[in-house]
Structure 1
């Protein structure tokens, strides 16, 4: 698993990955900026306190809260936006490291967009539900890490697996190797904790889980017999 993480990390700043990173960061910043402008306008419209100094004070407090909220939204927004490009990332990893294998097939564009939106909404909803844990230092970090490790591992392993197998088979493969997949999710969740580095999480996680899926699928092929494998897999 460590070698898969290292291969993913080494590929992060290659020209092909940089192109995807620039596009996803640009759209993420645009989405956050539009959200800021829209919410700030709504706040200014709703705050009608008198006298003026009370209104100004309330606007400052609301602005600080809005800034904190947008920082909190960086991870789910990045995940949703980057999801539009993750099949491109997976294809680069497959082409670079597994040229002897049949290439994966991306899901239809509409399905991919819906999966991306669903994942972003799920990450946002669960992280909002966990906000009360901010009052319990230590506990909140552990809980956040475990929950996001599960979410990230499930989503990114499924993304890698769906390029080669039906959804039911991808889910069965993940369940058979749930321990290894979850540990890989912990690595992705650890990166997501680090400010600014969390913007790289979708790209790193995609590359990491493409490698992991290849290894797990090869392991299954050896255990169940080569005839059970849906694709010819390399040993690396």
Structure 2
């Protein structure tokens, strides 16, 4: 561990979030793009509003609880996007739990593994598709991994999906975050990555202007991406709150 890691100025594990110094040393372009994305989403406001002619459904989103107890706010639908309690995976339970013969109460729970379910609630039908697949990050201890050649997404998500539950981000977002680390100097040399950044800036500004010039229009069709991870990095501590989305 280097001095910067010891001082907390650089992350000590790949599971920890990047520090500001990490971002600049790895890729200042990515650092700029991420914060520009935050700014655009703030200026744009909500991507959609619940329909006025239908009952509003409150979706509570959590993920990465890692056997920790978390606070669940009231809602109509609870979604857990993976890395849950080991009770739900018999092969991962400690020996003493297996010997106890205890079992979790799974009443009302629906496990989605590359399949969709349509539920009726408050007179509305909501189609939820769930898939646990994620890009390869380690050895065989990590389940549902895939490589670029074996990716399972193409044509597999039904077009009538209302809520998509995955354990990885969308392709464009993932590509932005996982682009090669060229370093502080080389990242500033003109390259093809600049095209992607400029493209994001263009569409980001356009999305804000479209919303601003439609101030009297209530947007009922749109999408929102949620990162509902509860435990931060490899701290083992619940840091983040559940994310609530009204649809």
By relative contact order (CA 8 Å, sep 6+), the higher-ranking structure is: 2
Q: Normalising to structure 1: TM-score of the pair?
A: 0.24
Greater helix percent: which structure? 1
